Amino acid sequence: MRARRPLVRRLGIGGRTGVVLLAAGLGVLSPFAVVSPASAQQDTGAAGTWATPPQVDETVLPPDTHQPDKTYTKKTQCVQRSLGQNVEIKTIPWGQSYLQLDKAQQIVRAATNSVGGGIKVAVIDTGVTPHPWFQSRVESGGDYVAKPDNGQPDGLQDCDGHGTEVAGIIAGNPQDPKVGFIGVAPDATIVSYRQLSSNYAADQNSSGNSGGDAGSPPGSNTGQPPGNSGSPPSGQNGGQLPGNSGGGGQVGGGTAPEQDDKGDTRQLQKEGTAGTLQTLAEIIRGVADRGDIKVINMSVDHCRAADGTGSIQTGEQQVQAAVRYAADKDVVVVAAAGNVSDDCPQNDQPDPNKPRSIVTPPWFADDVLSVGAIDETGGVASFSVHGPWVGVAAPGTDIVSLDPAEGSTGLANLTIDGTTQSPIQGTSFAAPYVAGVAALVRSMYPQLKARQVIQRIEATAQHPAAPGGRDDFVGYGVIDPVAALTANLPNDVGELAKPKPVVQTAVLPPADSMSSTPMIVALAGTGGGIVALLITLFVMHTIRRNRPTGPPS
């Protein structure tokens, strides 16, 4: 029988009452009680509940065509290094320190003699440049945008400068102690699929099946080629990138931050760009059919307004069927939760089960581990889209990763949106932290199935102070790689289940029934003492009675 995702996720914040009742039924909630096989369904009695997608229609799963859905032509120059220099960034990125990745890597290395070695991670993104710090651990998966124009195999050209940074967080390995940066699983292998690009647009005369409704308001790329906007600030890489990698990072007070800036405008099926939900579904199916890829990272999203009917679009159905297909074939599917933008408003409405925005693939939480973002303070990043489908969170601001420009041998910590420089940030870069941890867990616990790996990551996360140990902002909490690799969880060889409360009975040592001597001695001593006391009282009474009462002679 197919395992289902945790009940508390399906309830979301709107289902807090159900979580409280469940807790009352159990009598107590352990740290692992937030993860369950969830045989129960979300309460569908509440009218207008749109947060849960319709049932999976496996008949719509498209075959993998291994090619773009239509003809796309480059409209913007590919990312290039500014000034032709590599600026050294020797400090350790805060995300690595926050997650204690050095300790996690020591644990895996001691147990397996590598850190993710033998694990393949598919990166479905804008392509991956074969940076030298991958040490030839990047393989071609396929190209669903266009044939590369740099002589590289399919999927190994990153014209947008996004996928390389994502892959670097997963498996970058400088092999230089002077460099603070290192990927989560630096011995893992990346399989690159180029599926999205804002630097390409469909030919005017091209026709093809886009895989369903676009679902997003029209938008277009600025069309400005990346270039130098002056020397980079001191200590920052000259390898700036075109496009915005995420919104700002200021966070308001409380668990739910105020929305004070916007997020990434990069989306699937956006007018003037390459990349559709159908080709995403095709790639997911192709990855699952390969059989040698254990983890998928998708830092690509499709966001649309919720229509209030709970309906689903054709392309969304195809992705839903694809992620179910992959999960059933033992592939861990990780996706970015999405960034707030003008076309993707924040889900800050009163009822979380009636979202303003629907984000695919995170919407399909039964089979996808979606990742929100936190900033350096540990608070929720304001650009991170909320929702009942959010699984966990990871660092997503002030990112340092590999410079995606061809010929680069250094790092990048800046991106260019039009002509404006900004730090690299977004849920796009929180997701690969989780995908890297999933690779380590798969290396450490090869007997665990894909859904069990996800449950382990969720169960060991730093749970928020919310009913059931999750909320719509960080899901089950910020990931804890060390705990995910070392925690002794119930039923590790099977599905993680809620631990049931057990009444602890007092166990006393047995009575000494072999000898009564101690008791006799104690009673005899007590009796003797009482007799002595009585004799003393009698003597004193007699002396006082016989004492003369008259005056002395």
Helix (H) or strand (E) segment spanning residue 414: strand 414-417
Residue 494 has pLDDT above 60, yes or no: no
SS3 103: helix
Which CATH number is 451's domain given?
3.40.50.200
- The residue among 235 and 466 whose pLDDT is bigger is 466
Residue 39, CA atoms < 13 Å, CB-side half-sphere: 5
Using DSSP's 3-state secondary structure scheme, residue 448 falls into coil
306 belongs to a structural domain: yes
Check residue 539 and give its pLDDT: 87
Single pTM value for the model:
0.74
Query: What residues make up the domain containing 184?
Result: 7-72+92-463+471-486
More confident residue, 267 or 470: 470
Residue ranges of alpha helices (H) inside 37-145 are 94-99, 101-112
Q: How far apart are CA 165 and CA 246, in angstroms?
A: 13
Q: What is the dihedral of CA 243, 246, 247, 253, to 10 degrees?
A: -170
Contacts of 232 (CB under 8 A, 6+ apart): 82, 83, 87, 238, 240, 414, 421
- DSSP secondary structure string, 350-412? S-TTS-SEEEETTT-TTT-EEEEEE-TTSSBPTTBPP-TTEEEEEE-SSB-EE--STT--SEE
Q: Tokens 């940074």 label which residue?
A: 165
Tell me if 52 is assigned to some domain. yes
Is residue 538 assigned to a domain? no
3-state secondary structure 463-487: CCCCHHHCECCCECCECCHHHHHHC
Cα 242 versus chain centre, distance:
26
Tell me how many helices (H) and strands (E) the chain has.
Answer: 11, 15
In tens, the pLDDT along 217-267 reads: 333 333 333 333 333 333 333 333 333 333 333 333 334 443 345 445 577
Helix runs in 100-191, H state only: 101-112, 163-171
Question: What integer pLDDT is reported at residue 297 of this predicted model?
Answer: 98
**Number of domains making up the chain:** 1
Query: Which residues, including other chains, have CB under 8 Å from residue 521's CB and lie 6 or more apart?
Result: none
pLDDT over threshold 90, residue 120 = yes
Q: Please indicate, yes or no, if residue 86 is contained in any of the structural domains.
A: no
Answer yes or no: is 81 within a domain: no
Is residue 122 within 8 Å of 287, Cβ to Cβ? Answer: yes
32 lies in a domain? yes
How high is the pLDDT of residue 83?
Answer: 36
Average pLDDT, integer, range 368-395: 97
Angle formed by the axes of helices 427-444 and 450-459, nearest 10°: 110
Burial environment of residue 208 by CB neighbours within 10 A (0 to 12, 13 to 18, 19 or more): middle
In single-letter form, the type of residue at position 151 comes to G
User: Does 22 reside within a domain?
Assistant: yes
* pLDDT value of residue 531: 87
**Active site residue ranges:** 125, 162, 428
| Domain-located, residue 389 | yes
